[in-house]
Amino acid sequence: MTVGPRCLIVQPVHADGLDRLRDAGIEPVLCPEASTGAVARLLPGCVAAVTRDFGFSAACFAAADGLRVLAVHGAGHDAVDKAAATRAGVLVCNAPGHNARSVSELALGLALAAARLVPAADRDERAGKRGFRERHRSAELGGKTALIVGWGATGAGLGRMLHAALGMRVLVFSPRAADTGGFPRVATLEEGLAQADLVSLHTPMRDETRGMIGHAALARVKPGVLLVNTARAGLVDEAALAEAVADGRVAAAGLDVYSHEAPRGPLAATDRVIFTPHLGGATDEALRRMAAASAAIVIEALAGGTPATALNAPVGVYAAPAAAGG
């Protein structure tokens, strides 16, 4: 039986993406679990791969015998060892922007849920525990000030939503953003923290952003601030945040990204921290778009092109291999 070039699908993606690969003559190989062992077992013979938050380690690249392109299903690529990819001659591309609307909407939902302590109120009602309104204070967001840290597609989307729907004053801290759509910038993070009633993080993980919300930053926040993080766990020093929530400097936090231990650690000791299981881009609409974009990356690269979202130096022109007998 004749088979086309193979593409390893490390984690499940929307069926539309698989159909696009098949229509292009590329055979998807579905990984039964996202583990280095499973990837190493199935990767030989594959010329392409698609990964989500599992990433792709140096050990995975070492297991490849003909891999040419790795597509990251979404924007985040911290978990991909791009230096190992370049050494192995593998082009790495991501698919930014396709889940932006979904992440922005979740950030808005977390901001509202944190302001009104919605999950804690729900738990108390289910448990028959009365007096929630008397024990807890909540606040409106309307007319207050939001600081958006990182003015990419998700941050800009949230900023526009907050301004249009709630009449919030929106400040932007994003040194790399060329245009903030008319919203005022702050020169430093500290300047924005001192004014913000809501801080929402949307910046990539870089050396300069790792731990940016730590003891020093939290010492400068406006008392009673709300914090939302739908970007990267490492942007927040979780121990410092736990202290700030405990002493009231942070009224509540909504976290879609966090360390593995956080839901059982100090941050979990209070009803004023909300955890969601990395739901930002997990809508059907976003999953469909990201799968289609990932498939398009694979198809373009194997046809000899270099996709516009290449993350490492181009390592050559990729021609689709001839179909092999099986």
Q: Are residues 109 and 251 in the same domain?
A: yes
Gyration radius of the chain over CA positions = 22
Q: What's the pTM?
A: 0.87
Please tell me which residue in 22, 160, 220, 278 is annotated as part of the active site: 278
Mark whether 232 is an active-site residue: yes
Give the domain range for residue 192.
Answer: 100-275
Closest CA to 278 of 92, 110, 114: 110
In this structure, what token pair is assigned to residue 176? 């790399």
End-to-end CA distance of the chain: 5
Q: Are residues 36 and 121 in the same domain?
A: no
Q: Are residues 207 and 268 in the same domain?
A: yes
Q: What is the share, in percent, of the chain residues with pLDDT greater than 70?
A: 95
Q: Are residues 71 and 110 in the same domain?
A: no
**Amino acid in position 317:** V
Q: What is the share, in percent, of the chain residues with pLDDT greater than 90?
A: 91
Please tell me which residue in 33, 140, 261, 285 is annotated as part of the active site: 261
Backbone angles phi, psi at 50, to 5 degrees: -125, 130
Tokens 């990433």 sit on residue: 55
- Whole-number pLDDT of residue 78: 85
Confidence of residue 245 (pLDDT cuts 50, 70, 90): very high
Answer yes or no: is pLDDT of 234 > 90: yes
Q: Are residues 305 and 271 in the same domain?
A: no
pLDDT mean over 263-282: 95
Could you read off the pLDDT of 273-304 as tens digits, one per residue?
Answer: 999 999 999 999 999 999 999 999 999 999 99
Answer yes or no: is pLDDT of 324 > 60: no
Alpha-helical (H) ranges within the chain are 15-23, 36-42, 58-63, 82-87, 100-116, 118-126, 132-135, 153-166, 189-193, 215-218, 238-246, 284-302
Q: Are residues 134 and 56 in the same domain?
A: no
Closest CA to 251 of 164, 157, 140, 163: 140
Could you read off the pLDDT of 100-138 as tens digits, one per residue?
Answer: 999 999 999 999 999 999 999 999 999 999 999 999 989
Rounded Cα gap, residues 106 and 230, in angstroms: 8
Q: Are residues 135 and 225 in the same domain?
A: yes
Split into its structural domains, the chain has a count of 2
What is the average pLDDT value for the chain, to the nearest integer? 93
Q: Are residues 41 and 174 in the same domain?
A: no
Rounded Cα gap, residues 149 and 173, in angstroms: 5
- Whole-number pLDDT of residue 322: 37
In this structure, what token pair is assigned to residue 300? 């373009």
DSSP for 28-45 reads EEE-SSSSHHHHHHH-TT
Please tell me which residue in 20, 68, 77, 232 is annotated as part of the active site: 232
Which of 275, 296, 313 terminates a domain? The answer is: 275
Tokens 């791969």 sit on residue: 49
Answer yes or no: is pLDDT of 321 > 60: no
Q: Are residues 120 and 267 in the same domain?
A: yes
- Whole-number pLDDT of residue 175: 93
Q: Are residues 233 and 320 in the same domain?
A: no
Sequence-ordered list of residues with C-beta below 8 angstroms from that of 132, at least 6 positions apart, any chain:
117, 120, 121, 124, 125
Are 50 and 7 contacting, i.e. CB atoms less than 8 angstroms apart? yes
Task: Return the H-helix or E-strand segment holding 275.
Answer: strand 273-275
Answer yes or no: is pLDDT of 323 > 50: no
Are 262 and 255 contacting, i.e. CB atoms less than 8 angstroms apart? yes
- Whole-number pLDDT of residue 326: 31
Tokens 């979780």 sit on residue: 238
Helices 100-116 and 153-166 cross at an angle (nearest 10°) of: 50
Q: Are residues 207 and 122 in the same domain?
A: yes
User: Domain of 304: which CATH number?
Assistant: 3.40.50.720
More confident residue, 317 or 87: 87
Paired with 212 in beta bridges are none
Q: How far is CA 246 from CA 60, 120, 271, 278, in A?
A: 42, 16, 11, 24
- Whole-number pLDDT of residue 75: 86
Rounded Cα gap, residues 18 and 28, in angstroms: 6
**Amino acid in position 73:** H
- Whole-number pLDDT of residue 2: 54
Task: Return the H-helix or E-strand segment holding 156.
Answer: helix 153-166
Could you read off the pLDDT of 2-43 as tens digits, one per residue?
Answer: 568 999 999 999 999 999 999 999 999 999 999 999 999 999
Q: Are residues 116 and 260 in the same domain?
A: yes
Tokens 């709630």 sit on residue: 166
